[in-house]
Structure 1
Amino acid sequence: MSRTYATDTDYASWLDVKEAPEGAARLLRDASLEVDEMLLTAIYRVDHDGAPTEPHVIEALRDATCAQAEYRAEHGDEATITLGDVPVSLGPLSIGGRSNSKTDGTALPQHNPVAVRILRLAGLIPGTVQNA
């Protein structure tokens, strides 16, 4: 069972808007999964349901989730794949394929550097986060 580390209200506050944008629940759910990926080796106290119990960890997970959701909203995510994004191969010919890059062709990291920094400063990521 996956958990979501931030609410629509948290996300609206992070964005400094009155209401969370449409689709915020999905963004936060997906961003929470990506935060879990970043925390693969993290050690912190949890309750019997596996939820964090320490206030600084709860805050870091909330903020990292909001940062990751904002990043996904700005740069796209797996749920926005269109037909042109699906790679097609026929022998040596390959057409299409999802590009996760800036307009200048520089590849974007999968995880928002702000989210990684939040988790690192909270002591939850001791090393580097590997981007797929």
Structure 2
Amino acid sequence: MARVYATSPQYETYTGDTAPADITIRLRRASQFLDAAVFRLCWYEVDDTGMPTNELVLAAFADACCAQVQWGIEVGDVTGAAAVGWSEVEIGTAKLRRSDTVSTGDQAPGRQIAPAVWDALRSPDLTRDLFVLGLVVSC
């Protein structure tokens, strides 16, 4: 089962906004995305379910997930699908164009790591004995 690092109340505290109706789904997706793109490349202690054991690390992960969800909402692309598809569309005199070079959602704004994620994970409270960003160790 996928780990979810933040809750609806944490999202509302982080953003100061009312959570969208589908916040549970968005937080789950953000958790999965950050697990794959960031957290798996870091060192931190975990429990049997893979959740961080340190409260400061867990709080930073919650902030990172909330930041990722907020980013998706602000850029208008919560799944990464916005950059895929059409290149140019005309409706009457209105013309809309997207890059011809984007062929997958991986390059979409919704699939970028939010800048505030890095802020949360670079907190001075996360000392090297608790969390190391970008350290992969093989046993």
TM-score (normalizing by structure 1): 0.70
User: What is the aligned-residue identity percentage?
Assistant: 27
Does the alignment pair 1:51 with 2:51? yes
In the other structure, the counterpart of 2:112 is 110
Show the 5 A alignment for 1:1-132: 1-17=1-17, 19-36=18-35, 37-75=37-75, 76-78=77-79, 81=81, 85-86=84-85, 97=103, 100=108, 110-121=112-123, 122=126, 123-126=131-134
Which protein has greater RCO, CA pairs closer than 8 Å, 6+ apart?
2
Q: CA 1:60–1:124 in structure 2 vs 1: closer, same or farther (change >3 Å)? A: farther
User: What is the CA–CA distance in structure 1 between the aligned matches of 2:85 and 2:111, rounded to whole Å?
Assistant: 20
How many residue pairs get matched?
Answer: 113
RMSD: 2.9
TM (norm. structure 2) is 0.67
Judge conservation of contact 2:69–2:78 (CA < 8 Å) in 1. Answer: no
Deviation of residue 95 (structure 1)? 9.4
Match of 1:130 in 2: none
Greater strand content: 2
CA distance in structure 2 between the aligned counterparts of 1:95 and 1:65, rounded to whole angstroms = 29
Contact kept? 2:3, 2:50, Cα under 8 Å: no
2: distance between equivalents of 1:70 and 1:38?
A: 17
Amino acid at match of 1:53: T
Conserved? CA contact 2:6–2:66, under 8 Å: yes
Q: 5+ residue gaps in structure 1?
A: 89-93, 102-107, 128-132
Q: Which runs of 5+ in 2 are unaligned?
A: 88-99
